[in-house]
Chains A and B, each alone.
Chain A
Amino acid sequence: MNKKFFSLLLFGFIAIAQLQAQKAQAVKVRRIDTVAVAILDKMSAMIGDLGSCSVTVKSNYDVTSKELGLIKHSDEEHLYLHGPDKLLLKSEGDRGSRDLYFDGKTLSYYSLDRNQYGQIEAPASLVEMIDTVSRRYGIEFPAADFLYPTFVDDILADSKELVYLGLTTIDGKECYHIAGMGTDKSFQFWVSDDAFTLPMKMVIVYTTKPMNPQYEAVLSDWQVNPTLPDAMFDFSIPLKAKKVKLVPLTAKN
């Protein structure tokens, strides 16, 4: 009886000691790697200086299914931007074939599969348009994070950890690899180690969502300051296309 009692007591002490040790380990200092910040700064500065650009974004993303777990989807999108207020996005993949045109006043959505289009008035600047349309209508744009002038500040505000891991290769191109941990996600960026310092890849893991879905995007075929005619951002209503109303998120809910 005494043996059992002392064994239990000993076990209790060990358990408490382990808990204390875990607690002590948990209280750590937030670490931000200045090299990682400098690389992201350089990348953000480069994007901020672009007058126009085009890039191909191949993305994979998880959709959570209660029955099947994480279902992987993919899209390939071609994004054309012309400052300060023009955008063209041509997208193909699991969400179908669709185009988005923004000419500085109107955002036009066109589904090639359904031959339907919808239009909404949007703010003039690209970033504001992307932000507003995303918030109100749930229309998302690939690689939009990188376009925000506050990109690095936003990352820092949400990062528990941000570290530069070293150099690695993406599609044959040497890249800086940066990893971070936010409040509800972990993320990684790969930034090209060349004169342009452009984003080449990103991965986000949603650590607080069930099954931890991921988003991965590989950015390729970057064209820096290409000549993009204004006409390519003008939407012409295709023959027999049916007009649909783009419904704000609140109305959907």
Chain B
Amino acid sequence: MQKSFKYTYVVIATVLGLAIAACPQQGMAQRFSHGGGGGGFSRPAPAARPAAAAPRQEARPAPARPAPEARPAPEARPAPEARPTINGGGRNVGNHDFNRTNVNAHANVNVRANINVRDNVNVYHTGAYRGIHPYNYHPYRPYYWGPHWHPLGFFLASLAADATWFNFNNQRYYYDDGCYYLPSNGGYSVVPPPVGAVVPSLPDGYETTMVGNDTYYYFGGAFYVSTDQGYQVVVAPPGAVITELPTGAVDQQVNGEDILVYNNTYYQPITQDGQDAYEVVPGPGQ
């Protein structure tokens, strides 16, 4: 009788085990780390198989971030009535903290070592160099930012009296009306803006462009960000849209499309709000 009871117990335990195995199993941790301490993609391995014991996300940390539903709901929109959305509608668009360390205890996010995989990412698809906006060819018309602006390589025997100078990378640059000069052959030649240099002001005629939540200033083929000291020259940010390109841009055929290259930056012809424009796109190998 006792033996029979034991046998019954074993059978029940086996059935229960099978039932558990039939349930959606623990995944092989194939998901990203979301704030809730789990989340992410589901692709559970069959638990009944030995391999299902592959490291589950046992390391899933406690939810350090607020639960998703705590995010501001979209009721703020002028919709006549709040329409429930599948995820509460709250999200963070274009306002990312790029230096946020991983909330799930992935330490040291910003200082990576041994990033060798990236070096092999050279396989660009057809249509590479393309940005968010669709390619839309329009003729390139070199632009001049007024009589005081000069293209790269332009030679001046003397500078205007109100030109300023600054030392950068052990070189004395002269700056006037959005142009950068270096002494050359007894005069001054226009050179590309040195990335990192700061100038006190930009001439009239600059345009602003947003990339994500960041504002960039554009003038004479150079991009700037605003700092406490003035406007700092930066590398052209992919995604930036500008309306004019200086003289000196070179048309380059990429997969049958005309991409303009100016000062090592790739510009894709696009149309924005019915106007001809250019979008900065990643160049080859970038």
| Chain A residues positioned under 8 Å from B35 (CB to CB) | 148, 150, 154
Q: Which of A65, A140, A187, A209 contacts B55 (CB 8 A)?
A: A209
Residue of B nearest to A51 (CB): B83
B89-100 interface code vs A (CB 8 A; 1 in, 0 out): 111111011101
* Chain A residue at minimum C-beta to C-beta distance from B71: A149
Taking CB atoms, residues of chain A closer than 8 Å to B69 are 125, 127-128
Query: In the complex, how many angstroms separate the beta carbon of A110 from the nearest chain B beta carbon?
Result: 10
Contacting residues, chain B, for A71 (C-beta < 8 A): 51
Question: Is B115's CB under 8 angstroms from A28's CB?
Answer: yes
Flag if B41 contacts A145 (CB, 8 Å): yes
B contact residues around A232 at 8 Å (CB): none
Q: B113 contacts which chain A residues (CB < 8 A)?
A: 26-27
Q: Which residues of B contact A73 (CB under 8 A)?
A: 45-46
A163 within 8 A of B: yes
Residues of chain B within 8 A of A82, CB atoms compared: 86
- Whether the Cβ atoms of B38 and A131 lie closer than 8 Å is yes
B43, B49, B115: the one within 8 Å of A61 (CB): B43
- In the assembled complex, the Cα of A101 lies from the Cα of B239 at a distance in Å of 42
B44 lies within 8 A of A246 (CB)? no
* Alpha-carbon separation in the docked complex, A81 to B87 (Å): 10
Task: Give the distance to chain A from B42, nearest Cβ to Cβ, in Å.
Answer: 2
Q: What 1/0 flags go to A203-247 for Cβ under 8 Å of B?
A: 010110100010101000000000000000000000000001111
Q: Which of B37-89 contact A (CB under 8 A)?
A: 37-47, 49-52, 54-57, 60, 65, 67-69, 71, 74, 83-89
Given that A35-B281, A166-B124 are contacting pairs, would A150 and B92 also be in contact in the complex, using a CB cutoff of 8 Å? yes
What chain B residues lie within 8 Å of A183 (beta carbons)?
A: 102, 106, 109
From 64 to 89 in chain A, residues with beta carbon under 8 angstroms from any chain B beta carbon are 64-66, 71, 73, 75, 81-85
What's the A-B contact tally at a CB cutoff of 8 Å?
Answer: 335
- Minimal beta-carbon separation of B107 from chain A (angstroms): 9
What CA separation (Å) do A95 and B204 show in the bound complex? 65
Q: Is the CB of B100 within 8 A of A157?
A: yes
Grouping DSSP codes into helix (H, G, I), strand (E, B) and loop, the B interface class, with mixed when no group exceeds half, is loop
B33 in complex: contacting residue of A144, A154, A179, A244, CB < 8 Å: A154
Chain B residues, Cβ within 8 Å of A38: 94, 132, 211-212, 239
Assess A147 versus B86: contact at CB under 8 Å? Given A157-B106, A244-B19.
Answer: yes
Inter-chain CA distance A209–B45, complex, in Å, is: 14
Q: Are A53 and B86 in contact (CB under 8 A)?
A: yes
Report whether B36 and A131 are in contact in the complex, using a CB–CB cutoff of 8 Å. yes
B141 → chain A, closest Cβ, in Å? 25
- Of residues 29 through 56 on chain A, the ones whose CB sits less than 8 Å from some CB of chain B are 30-35, 37-39, 41-42, 44-45, 47-53
Instruction: Report the separation of the CA atoms of residues A47 and B107 in the bound assembly, to the nearest whole angstrom.
Output: 30
Interface size class of B (residues with CB under 8 A): 35 or more
- In Å, the complex CA distance between A176 and B127 comes to 10
Tell yes or no: A156 within 8 A of B by CB. yes
Closest B residue to A27 by CB, please name it: B113
8 A Cβ contacts from B98-120 to A: 98, 100-104, 106, 109-118
Residues of chain A within 8 A of B112, CB atoms compared: 28, 30, 160
B282: chain A residues within 8 A (beta carbon): 33, 35, 163-164
Q: List 7 A-B contacts (CB under 8 A).
A: A50-B86, A114-B22, A127-B36, A127-B88, A149-B68, A161-B117, A167-B130
- Additional A-B contact list (20), CB under 8 Å, known A33-B282, A35-B282, A215-B30: A26-B115, A34-B237, A38-B211, A48-B91, A51-B84, A61-B28, A66-B50, A85-B84, A116-B19, A131-B38, A131-B68, A135-B37, A140-B24, A144-B42, A150-B68, A151-B32, A158-B32, A160-B118, A182-B32, A217-B43
Which residues does A use to contact B, with CB under 8 Å?
Answer: 25-28, 30-35, 37-39, 41-42, 44-45, 47-53, 59, 61-66, 71, 73, 75, 81-85, 94-96, 98, 100, 109, 111, 113-114, 116, 118, 125-128, 130-132, 134-135, 137-145, 147-158, 160-161, 163-168, 176-177, 179, 181-183, 186-187, 193, 202, 204, 206-207, 209, 213, 215, 217, 244-247, 249, 252
Please provide the 3 A-B residue pairs with the shortest distance between their CB atoms, ordered closest to farther: A140-B42, A138-B26, A131-B36
Residues on B close to A: CB < 8 A? 16, 18-20, 22-47, 49-52, 54-57, 60, 65, 67-69, 71, 74, 83-94, 96-98, 100-104, 106, 109-118, 121, 123-132, 134, 211-212, 214, 237-239, 281-282
